[in-house]
Amino acid sequence: MFKRIKVGLALGGGAARAFSHIGVLDGLTRHGIPIDIITGTSMGAIIGAMYATLPDVDAIKAHFAAYIDSEEFEESGFNFFKELDSHDEGFLADMGRFARRGVFNTLLVTKTALVNNKTAASSYDYLLEDLSVEETRIPFAAVALDLKSGEAVVLKRGRLREVIAASCAMPGVLNPVELDGLVLVDGGWVETVPIRAARQLGADFVIAVNVGDSGREFEVPRNALDVIARADSLARDALNREQLKEADMILSPRNGITHWADFSTTEAAIKRGAEEVERKLAALQSAIKKARWQGWFG
């Protein structure tokens, strides 16, 4: 019996590295690969929501370029994280460096986040339209972690900006978001690339886009904070590898971005995303064709 398969695109987190998602979207649309469903985690949720709202890659590029030059971005705090003088192990290592320097010691034990809600909201307001998730042109959902239950939560309804704020609430940097009795933080701690969420929305074939920077070289820890940061990084890398097995196709742009908060590399990251589509195009087209045949005769 004939069945049209639905192709889902699952966009992982990665802060500045996630700009490779824009290149992936560009490559897929140029080659006529359908995108019927989009899910995102953290920065992947922002980019996914923007495309689901207005499927125009050029418009997204222009909007982000304007944002990076804006007062909202200047106040976001990303540049401060980028300027810390050490090798990158992710934001948890950055937090450890604050403590080693004696920076923010009082803040870290008296506040739940380094960035206040007003500052964070200004960025979401700049990037996203004020509409509900149900109003996006392409079905969309974001993933967050509920601190109460420890479960992944698929956010597929509600105000778009609130949903994105929950998926992007990086622990320690941004405050948790309370929605419907849940206390939500960055989905990257439970579903780094939201493949399962795409299945929940009805995707038959899921393209996972992994922009993380795994495989960092080991350095001898200098103190307990280094040990914690390294263990956290390895645990999340292991979770990511295991979850990626559930995708039908994995795209892993080689963005080469050293620091997760380095937004000066956006053009390079976008280019790497488009290049990854070209590199995997034949395999992707073949896999989708096979899935369609299975759908027709399944």
Q: Which residues are catalytic?
A: 42, 186
Residue at token pair 């106040």: 75
Task: Provide the 10 A C-beta neighbour count for residue 105.
Answer: 12
Task: Provide the 10 A C-beta neighbour count for residue 149.
Answer: 10
Task: Provide the 10 A C-beta neighbour count for residue 20.
Answer: 34
In sequence order, the 6+-apart residues with CB closer than 8 A to the CB of 65 are: 266
**Can you tell me the distance from the alpha carbon of 32 to that of 182, in angstroms, rounded to the nearest whole number?**
39
Residue at token pair 């995303």: 273
User: DSSP per residue over 55-90, as a string?
Assistant: --HHHHHHHHHHHHTSHHHHHHSHHHHHTS-S----
Task: Provide the 10 A C-beta neighbour count for residue 109.
Answer: 8
**Can you tell me the distance from the alpha carbon of 275 to that of 245, in angstroms, rounded to the nearest whole number?**
22
**Can you tell me the distance from the alpha carbon of 80 to that of 48, in angstroms, rounded to the nearest whole number?**
26
List phi, psi (to 5°) of 146: -85, 120
**Can you tell me the distance from the alpha carbon of 64 to that of 199, in angstroms, rounded to the nearest whole number?**
29
In sequence order, the 6+-apart residues with CB closer than 8 A to the CB of 148 are: 182, 183
| Residue 251 DSSP SS3 | strand
